[in-house]
A and B are shown apart, each in its own frame.
Chain A
Amino acid sequence: MNYMPGTASLIEDIDKKHLVLLRDGRTLIGILRSIDQFANLVLHQTVERIHVGKKFGDIPRGIFVVRGENVVLLGEVDLDKECDQILQRVSIEEILEEQRTEQQAKQESERLKLQAVKERGLSIPKADTLDDF
């Protein structure tokens, strides 16, 4: 049964593995089980995948219910193509460690930048009002 051809309806995507990108930057991979008119999603056997560079790590999370407004995008995972991945899979600890390192490096660079800017007498307003990253 062809539900609403030509539209971006999620009905056809049910019971298929999907990759969901959330507004807070998280990447979830799970089987889409249920939807509603707001594109709230129910993901089954969800795994949160953390990417750092060429490596990634999976954290199994179970069942996720995602509020539709927090979804940036989602797409079906091609199971055949998923097998041949260029990225290297690592353990969770490792990937978390990598992520931490990355965050630290970023913060460090930000700090230096801010310092440099201050020295020059300029100021960059802090993006406190921004909701998302």
Chain B
Amino acid sequence: MFRFQSFDEDCTLEEEGLVEEDEIDQFNDDTFGAGAIDDDWQEAHARLAELDELVRDGPAEDTPSAPHELPPVTSSTLSPPPPLYSEERAGGDLAESLSRLILGSDPAIAGVGTASLDRSRLPPVLSSHTHPPALAGQSPLLLSYPQNQQLLHRGSAPLSQINSHSIWENSMVFSPVGVNSGLVNQTEDSPLLSIIKEVGLPKRPPALGREEGRDLSERVPPPRSSSPVIGSPPVTAVPIGTPPKQPMSHILIQQNNHPSAVHVRASVPLRYPPPFPERLSPNNLLSITNPPLSHHSFPGVGPILSQIQRAQLLNAQFQRCPGPPPPLLQGGVGGFRPFFGQSGPRMGLHGPHLGHVPIRHNTTHLHPQHRRMLNLRMQNRGTGDHLSGRGVLERKNRDPYSNLMMQREKEWVARIQMMQLQSTDPYLDDYYYQNYYEKMEKRQERDRDNKKEHSTKLITPQVAKLEHTYRPVQFAGSLGKLTVSSVNNPRKMIDAVVTTRSDDEEKREKQVWNKRRQILYTVEKMYTLLLEVQDFEKKFLQTPEHQRDALLEQHKSHTLQLYSSLKEKEWADRVSDEQCLMIMSVRKGKRLISRLLPFLPQQQAAAVIMAIARNLPALAKKDKQDQVLCWLVEPVTVVIQSMSSTSLTDLLQELQGSEGQLPLVLQNKFGVTVLYVVLSEGERMQSSDPNCQLMDDNRWTELVFSVTRELLKVPSSALSSPLFTPPNLVSLFSRYVDRQRLELLQEKLQITALSR
């Protein structure tokens, strides 16, 4: 108490100097390093030296009491000091206090006692001086720092320096002494202090009052030893923790007057300063900050609060209106928002400067690229602020990290996504989406009742399906093709062209060939038999008597076999048409038949001939060369001549068998010949044997009649000449036709025989 009473402004410094004399050097060397800073420290030292002299003159009894005073001070509110202070500060001069502040910026001077002194002194100082109310508002909060620091140090000393709390106290340059019980328990001040160090409090805050100046001078952090970015512009912005508005302006002025690189220190880990909102009460602030973050046991949280972040936040704060923090900040990212309020004070200072070049004070340690981007974003935000309204947009504008993804990049991603939506057949590729979309559209139409507005529709690109067939490059007149291979056109070494005949064709051809072979095979077989049969006589003569029966038997069997091969399966006396046709289709077969016929028994031979006659048109068609068939004429004639009348009639009938057969027969030489033979035979029968049964039924007559008719009808050209014309045909016809017709027939017969 007495100490305070006797104190004047000089004494505070004196006390600090006396107490902390040992540590002056310590702080100078270790804390602040060699320093690429201006000779501020030297100046400071000189000043301090001056002050020391002054101080020493002052009462010395105060010093010992100072340390003792601290504990009670920290534990309780600073109630006792204020009244004392009022005495002290009544006559204080602002300028004086500021100068003190400058002088006392060296933390070496800072002392435990002085901290409390300052604290106690400040409220009256505030009241007496024309400090901005903001400062007063700040004071209670800021004051807590030293208190907290002391608490912190009492508890555990993460800081290696002894009495380092004094530094922090000194760093509380702008915190007027005040009473604040709310933040006493806060242990997050060390990060703040570290940040302050990083950001760089102004070395000489001149604007504050003398008393405050003293306090603040204690709290001014040491200048930065080395700038991470060499040649970076001097820090002009106000560091964290600076009192708002007026004091800040003073400080700024001071800063401008003494442009010096702000001392940047490595942040002390695990420290989070409590936020310094401009208008928020400390309690509010506490609620905002994340309690768990205050625990030192959480190392992971430490590095998060990086310099850049702080800088960002600070910058963000600049443009934020003093008001409740945006929900974005509150949303569970508490640890990141400790600076929310701290730059609040800054708001006032830089209010008019919105949108201008942002403060660079805290960005000097950023990467220059980063800083540029930051500035850009700040500017954008600045412009956006003017235009935007309330709400989300405002929030967006406050977000310093917004638009990290530029428009170009967004479009790029959108383009890739659109490419993926390309389809030639949307109903095939995305059936369910198409249906869903249609339903939606219908619903929309229904709901809106054809209102004019339509929601934006995504038009997926429709790509026409293109067939891309690769054609290898060819030069005209060159042999072969270029062998250039790629993914789309693998090399073609050989132009293997596959020509596939259609299956049907192949089948047919094969069938035909197979059939022919079959026929030939059969014919061959039959031939062997036939030869056997033909050679029978010879054999017969040659074989001895006793074996002749056997031979005969053999002969018979052979002939039977031959016939059986021709005949139909079921009918014994009818030759299978197919078989016959089959055999007769081949020339060999025709020959075979012709040779076979003499050996067949009458009946069988007749049957064969019947078959032939029946199938004459087919046979004629197959046998374009008449000669082949004509081989058959002789044997056929022989057979016919031995035929009975009935069979003859049958034969004639067969010849005329189907519709249109006769003309065809007549066209064919063989056919004509056979016909004539038949007719002549019939005539012979009739003429020779009066009892022939030819006339028993009208069949013969009918048939002859039809023949004559046909002969008359058929033009001469269509009538093929027979091999021979039996002479008795005329007499035959004469029986049935009148004279006129007979003559015609004669002509026909003659013409045909002669002409061809």
Residues of A that sit less than 8 Å from B by CB: 2-7, 9, 11, 14-15, 17, 29-31, 33-37, 42, 44-45, 47, 49, 57-62, 77, 79-80, 82-83, 89, 91-93
Is B458 in contact with A45, judged by CB distance below 8 angstroms? no
Binds A, one of B404-412, B508-516, B569-577: B404-412
Is B410 in contact with A11, judged by CB distance below 8 angstroms? yes
B690 at the interface (CB under 8 A from A): no
CB closest residue in chain B, given A12: B410
Is A5 in contact with B458, judged by CB distance below 8 angstroms? yes
Known: A31-B401, A60-B301. A45 touches B333 (CB 8 A): yes
Report B418 CB to chain A, min CB distance, Å.
Answer: 7
Is B334 in contact with A15, judged by CB distance below 8 angstroms? no
Contact with A along B299-333 (1 / 0, CB 8 A): 01101100000000000000000000001101111
CA distance A126 to B169 in the complex (A): 62
CA distance A30 to B416 in the complex (A): 25
Instruction: Specify which of A7, A15, A45, A77 is in contact with B402 (CB 8 Å cutoff).
Output: A15
**Residues in A neighbouring B416, C-beta threshold 8 A:** 37
Known: A83-B327, A91-B292. A60 touches B457 (CB 8 A): no
Is A36 in contact with B413, judged by CB distance below 8 angstroms? yes
CB closest residue in chain B, given A17: B331
CA distance A91 to B294 in the complex (A): 10
Is B458 in contact with A93, judged by CB distance below 8 angstroms? no
Known: A6-B458, A11-B414. A93 touches B297 (CB 8 A): yes
CA distance A31 to B399 in the complex (A): 10
Report A13 CB to chain B, min CB distance, Å.
Answer: 11
Q: Which 9 residue pairs of A and B lie closest in terms of their CB atoms, listed nearest first?
A: A91-B292, A37-B416, A79-B327, A60-B335, A5-B456, A92-B292, A34-B405, A6-B458, A15-B402
Known: A17-B328, A37-B417. A60 touches B304 (CB 8 A): yes
CB closest residue in chain B, given A49: B332
Is B331 in contact with A79, judged by CB distance below 8 angstroms? yes
**Residues in A neighbouring B328, C-beta threshold 8 A:** 17, 31, 79
Is A60 in contact with B293, judged by CB distance below 8 angstroms? yes
Contact with A along B565-583 (1 / 0, CB 8 A): 0000000000000000000
Chain B binding surface SS class:
helix
B485 at the interface (CB under 8 A from A): no
Known: A62-B304, A79-B327. A34 touches B409 (CB 8 A): yes
**Residues in B neighbouring A2, C-beta threshold 8 A:** 456
**Residues in A neighbouring B300, C-beta threshold 8 A:** 59-61
Report A48 CB to chain B, min CB distance, Å.
Answer: 10
CB closest residue in chain A, given B291: A91
Instruction: Specify which of B297, B402, B414 is in contact with A9 (CB 8 Å cutoff).
Output: B414
Report A67 CB to chain B, min CB distance, Å.
Answer: 16
Interface size on B, residues (CB 8 A): 41
Report B426 CB to chain A, min CB distance, Å.
Answer: 13
CB closest residue in chain B, given A79: B327
CA distance A15 to B331 in the complex (A): 14
Report A75 CB to chain B, min CB distance, Å.
Answer: 14
Contact with A along B68-93 (1 / 0, CB 8 A): 00000000000000000000000000
Report A21 CB to chain B, min CB distance, Å.
Answer: 16
CB closest residue in chain A, given B395: A79
Instruction: Specify which of A4, A33, A47 is in contact with B404 (CB 8 Å cutoff).
Output: A33
CA distance A15 to B396 in the complex (A): 8
Given contacts A6-B437, A60-B304, A89-B332, 12 further A-B contacts (CB under 8 A): A5-B455, A11-B414, A15-B403, A33-B404, A36-B413, A37-B416, A42-B404, A47-B333, A59-B300, A60-B300, A60-B301, A60-B336
CB closest residue in chain A, given B455: A5
**Residues in A neighbouring B330, C-beta threshold 8 A:** 83
**Residues in A neighbouring B399, C-beta threshold 8 A:** 15, 31
Is A58 in contact with B332, judged by CB distance below 8 angstroms? yes
Is B405 in contact with A4, judged by CB distance below 8 angstroms? no
Is B331 in contact with A34, judged by CB distance below 8 angstroms? no
Is B292 in contact with A29, judged by CB distance below 8 angstroms? no
10 contacts between A and B (CB under 8 A): A4-B414, A6-B437, A15-B404, A29-B331, A60-B336, A62-B303, A79-B331, A82-B331, A91-B292, A91-B295
Is A58 in contact with B290, judged by CB distance below 8 angstroms? yes
Is B410 in contact with A7, judged by CB distance below 8 angstroms? no
**Residues in B neighbouring A92, C-beta threshold 8 A:** 292, 295, 298
**Residues in A neighbouring B290, C-beta threshold 8 A:** 58, 60
CA distance A92 to B335 in the complex (A): 12
Is A33 in contact with B417, judged by CB distance below 8 angstroms? no
CA distance A83 to B440 in the complex (A): 34
Is B332 in contact with A3, judged by CB distance below 8 angstroms? no
CA distance A80 to B402 in the complex (A): 20
**Residues in A neighbouring B418, C-beta threshold 8 A:** 4
CB closest residue in chain B, given A7: B458
CB closest residue in chain A, given B409: A34
CA distance A72 to B293 in the complex (A): 29
Contact with A along B619-650 (1 / 0, CB 8 A): 00000000000000000000000000000000
**Residues in A neighbouring B413, C-beta threshold 8 A:** 9, 11, 35-37
Is B396 in contact with A45, judged by CB distance below 8 angstroms? no
**Residues in B neighbouring A33, C-beta threshold 8 A:** 401, 404-405
**Residues in B neighbouring A9, C-beta threshold 8 A:** 413-414, 417
Contact with A along B476-491 (1 / 0, CB 8 A): 0000000000000000
Report B132 CB to chain A, min CB distance, Å.
Answer: 33
**Residues in B neighbouring A45, C-beta threshold 8 A:** 333, 336
CA distance A15 to B334 in the complex (A): 18
Report B49 CB to chain A, min CB distance, Å.
Answer: 47
| B344-364 residues at the A interface, CB under 8 angstroms | none
Known: A37-B417, A57-B292. A3 touches B410 (CB 8 A): yes
**Residues in A neighbouring B414, C-beta threshold 8 A:** 3-4, 9, 11
CA distance A34 to B328 in the complex (A): 18
CA distance A57 to B303 in the complex (A): 19
**Residues in B neighbouring A44, C-beta threshold 8 A:** 401, 404
CA distance A35 to B403 in the complex (A): 12
**Residues in A neighbouring B421, C-beta threshold 8 A:** 7
**Residues in B neighbouring A17, C-beta threshold 8 A:** 328, 331
**Residues in A neighbouring B304, C-beta threshold 8 A:** 60-62
